[in-house]
Amino acid sequence: MTLRVLVVEDDREIRTLMQSSLSVEGFEVQTAVTLSEAMALLRHSPPDVIVLDLGLPDGDGLQLVREVRRQQSVPIIVVSARHQEAQKIELLDAGADDYLTKPFSVGELLARIRVALRHRGTALAAAVTVHELDDLRIDLAAHAVQRAGAPVHLTPTEFKLLARLVRSAGRVVTHRQLLADVWGPEYTEHTHYLRLYMGQLRAKIERDPAEPRHLLTETGVGYRLASD
Amino acid sequence: MDRSKTPTISSLRHWGIVIGLLSLATIVGLLLEPYVSLTSQAMIYVLVVVLAAYKLEWIESAVCAVGAVTALNFFFVPPRWTFEVESQEHFIALTTMLVVALVISRLASGLRRETEVARLNEQRARQLQALATELSSVTTPQQVQTLGRSALDAAFAGPNALVLADSIEGLARAEGLAPAVLDGMRCCMKESAVLGPGTGRWPGLDAWYLPLGGREQVSGAACVRPALAADEEGREHAQALCALLAQALWRLRLTTSMLAAQGEAQRQQLQSTFLAAISHDLRTPLAAIVGAASALQTQHEKLGPTEQKRLLDSIASEASYLNAITENTLQLVRLASPGLVLRRDWESMEEIVGAVLARMRPHDPDHRIRASVPEGLPLVKGDPVLLSQLVGNLLDNALKHGEGTIDLTVSAQPQQIQLCVADHGPGIAPAEQEDIFKPYARGDRSGRRGAGLGLAVCRAIAQAHGGRLTLQSRVGEGSVFCLVLPLDVPQPVPELP
Output the domain CATH number for residue B314. 1.10.287.130
d(CA A8, CA A42): 11
Nearest to B375 among A82, A85, A203 (CB): A203
Q: Is residue B491 part of a domain?
A: no
The pLDDT-based confidence of A103 (bands split at 50, 70, 90) is: confident
More confident call, B451 vs B392: B392
Asked, for residue B425, whether it belongs to a domain, the answer is: yes
Tell me: do A101 and A46 sit in the same domain: yes
B126, B151, B166 — which closes off a domain? B126
Percent of chain B clearing pLDDT 90 (strictly above): 25
Looking at B123-132, B176-185, B244-253, B410-419, which range is the least confident one? B176-185
- Does residue A123 form part of some domain? no
pLDDT averaged over every residue in chain A: 89
Residues B82 and B159 in one domain: no
Interface contacts A/B by beta carbons within 8 Å: 78
Position B496 scores a pLDDT of 55
Residue B209: pLDDT over 80: yes
Residue B393 falls within a domain, yes or no? yes
In terms of domains, do B198 and B239 share one?
yes
Taking only the tens place, the pLDDT of each residue in B269-305 is 777 777 777 777 788 888 889 989 999 998 888 888 9
For residues A107 and A22, membership in a common domain is answered with: yes
Query: A17-26, A169-178, B106-115: which range is least confident on average?
Result: B106-115
Q: Which domain holds residue A183?
A: 130-225
Min Cα distance B497 → chain A (Å) is 7
Percent of chain B scored above 70 by pLDDT?
94
| Domain match, A74 and A164 both | no
Q: Average pLDDT of A129-142? A: 91
In-domain check, residue A160: yes
**CB nearest B385 (choices: A85, A198, A202):** A85
Shared domain for B375 and B422, answered yes or no, is yes
When pLDDT is cut at 50, 70 and 90, the band that residue B178 belongs to is: confident
pLDDT at A124 over 50: no
- Whether residue B14 has pLDDT greater than 80: yes
Q: Does the distance separating the beta carbons of A86 and B355 come in below 8 Å?
A: no
The answer, yes or no, to whether residue B401 has pLDDT greater than 50, is yes
The predicted pLDDT at position B192 comes to: 85
Q: Are residues A13 and A91 in the same domain?
A: yes
Residues from chain B that touch A195, judged by Cβ atoms under 8 A, are 346-348, 351, 379
Quote the CA–CA distance of B408 and B424 in Å, as a whole number.
12
Q: Is pLDDT above 90 for A49?
A: yes
Question: Where is pLDDT greater, at A124 or B397?
Answer: B397
**Closest chain A residue to B384, measured at CA:** A220
Residue B277 is assigned to a structural domain of this protein: yes
A64 with A166, same domain: the answer is no
Note the pLDDT of residue B442. 47
What are the pLDDT digits (tens) for B81-107?
888 777 787 788 888 888 887 888 788
Q: Which B positions 353-412 lie with beta carbon below 8 A of chain A?
A: 353-355, 357-358, 371-373, 375-376, 379, 383-385, 388
Last residue of a domain, one of A118, A150, A180: A118
* Residue A192 C-alpha, separation from nearest chain B C-alpha, in angstroms: 5
Interchain CB distance below 8 Å, B379 and A82: no
At residue B449, the pLDDT reads 57
Say yes or no: B145 and B252 in one domain: yes
B463 to chain A nearest CA, in Å?
20
**Range from B223-237, B264-278, B437-451 carrying the lowest mean pLDDT:** B437-451
Q: Say whether both B283 and B406 belong to one domain.
A: no
Query: How many domains would you assign to chain A?
Result: 2
Q: Which residues of A touch B (CB under 8 A)?
A: 82-83, 85-86, 103, 105, 157, 183, 187, 190-193, 195-199, 202-203, 209-212, 216-220
pLDDT of residue A23: 92
**Are residues B104 and B23 part of one domain?**
yes
pLDDT score of B5 more than 50: no
Q: Residue A182's domain is classified under what CATH number?
A: 1.10.10.10
Please report the pLDDT score of residue B494 as a whole number.
62
Same domain, A148 and A106: no
pLDDT at A123 over 60: no
What stretch of H or E contains A74? none
Q: Which of A118, A152, A183 is the last residue of a domain?
A: A118
Q: Report the CATH number at residue A61.
A: 3.40.50.2300
- Whether residue B6 is predicted with pLDDT greater than 70 in this model: the reply is no
Tell whether A113 and A135 lie within a shared domain. no
Does residue A138 share a domain with residue A95? no
Q: Are residues A57 and A157 in the same domain?
A: no
A85, A152: one domain: no
Residue numbers of B between 267 and 286 with CB closer than 8 Å to A? none
ipTM, interface predicted TM-score of the complex: 0.86
Instruction: Render pLDDT for B126-151 as a digit per residue (tens, 0 to 9).
Output: 999 999 999 988 888 889 989 999 99
Residues of B in contact with A197 (CB under 8 A): 496
Residue B493 lies in a domain: no
B449 touches chain A (CB under 8 A): no
Closest alpha carbon within chain A to B323: A103
Question: pTM score, two decimals?
Answer: 0.63
**Which CATH number belongs to the domain containing residue B433 in this structure?**
3.30.565.10
Q: Which of A207, A219, A221, A223 to mutate to test the interface with B (most CBs of B within 10 A)?
A: A219
Asked if the model's pLDDT at residue B405 lies above 50, the reply is yes
pLDDT for residue A99? 92
Query: Is A125 inside a domain boundary?
Result: no
Nearest-10 Cα torsion for B303, B307, B313, B314: -90
Please check whether residue B496 lies inside any domain of the structure: no
Q: How far is A43 from chain B (nearest CA, A)?
A: 37
Asked if the model's pLDDT at residue B2 lies above 60, the reply is no
Nearest chain B alpha carbon to A198: B351
Please name the member of B351, B371, B494 whose beta carbon is closest to the beta carbon of A217. Answer: B351
A192 and A99 part of one domain = no
Structurally, how many domains does chain B consist of? 4
Domain-embedded: residue B2: no
Among B366, B365, B370, smallest CA distance to B353 is for B370
Q: Considering B287, B314, B334, which residue would you say is the last residue of a domain?
A: B334
The answer to the question of residue A110 being in a domain is yes
Q: What is the pLDDT of residue B1?
A: 40
Range of the domain at B320: 267-334
* CA-based torsion, A104, A107, A109, A111: positive or negative: negative
Q: Are A74 and A136 members of one domain? A: no
Position A124 in a domain:
no
CATH at residue B227: 3.30.450.40
* Domain contains B492: no
Residue A39 lies in a domain: yes
